[in-house]
Amino acid sequence: MNKKIKIIIGLGQKRKHYRFLSKYLNIREVDWNNGSLSKMRLGKPKILVGFSLGCMVTIMHAEKYRVKTLILCSPSPEETLLRVKADQVIFLVGEKENWCLKEIKRMSRTLRCRYSIIVIRGANHRITGDYQKKLVEVIQSL
């Protein structure tokens, strides 16, 4: 697995919550209190992953720089994804996140690229268990 793939984690999340995924991904923690969004140096990755509020950062990046694949895990709602420069967007969402799935369906209609929505059985708004396994499976399939 290529650890050059970065995942931007959400508000209140710490690297220690992602020990399993750290074998596969470069975990990027955001200090939401000091304006570090503009200071994050993500480079120009081909694949970029975001979770929850971390999706906001990945979307902002994909509006500036083209990415091959943008993976949005349980994203916070965005008004539009019209300016996203990606060849494809993959949404992952837990089965118990009805509000999030509704927003994903709305946001996906604004995309100009291919997209898919993967609902993870029994999962909620945490990347644990089956959610982790599905994310790794998706990344390995790219």
Nearest to 28 by CA among 44, 20, 46, 48: 48
Domain assignment present for 16: yes
Task: Return phi, psi of residue 129, to 5°.
Answer: 50, -120
Owning domain of residue 69: 6-141
Domain assignment present for 132: yes
Q: Which amino acid is at 132?
A: Q
pLDDT confidence of residue 18: 76
What is the C-alpha to C-alpha distance for residues 45 and 31, in angstroms, rounded to an integer? 21
At 35, the pLDDT band (50, 70, 90 cuts) reads low
pLDDT confidence of residue 73: 98
pLDDT tens digit sequence for 75-122: 999 999 999 999 999 999 999 999 999 999 999 999 999 999 999 999
Model pTM above 0.85: yes
At 139, the pLDDT band (50, 70, 90 cuts) reads very high
Q: DSSP labels for 73-136?
A: ESPPP-S--TT--EEEEEEEEETT-HHHHHHHHHHHTT-SSEEEEEEETT--SS--THHHHHHH
Domain assignment present for 1: no
At 12, the pLDDT band (50, 70, 90 cuts) reads confident
pLDDT confidence of residue 36: 58
What is the number of domains present in the chain?
1
Contact, 67 vs 46, CB < 8 A? yes
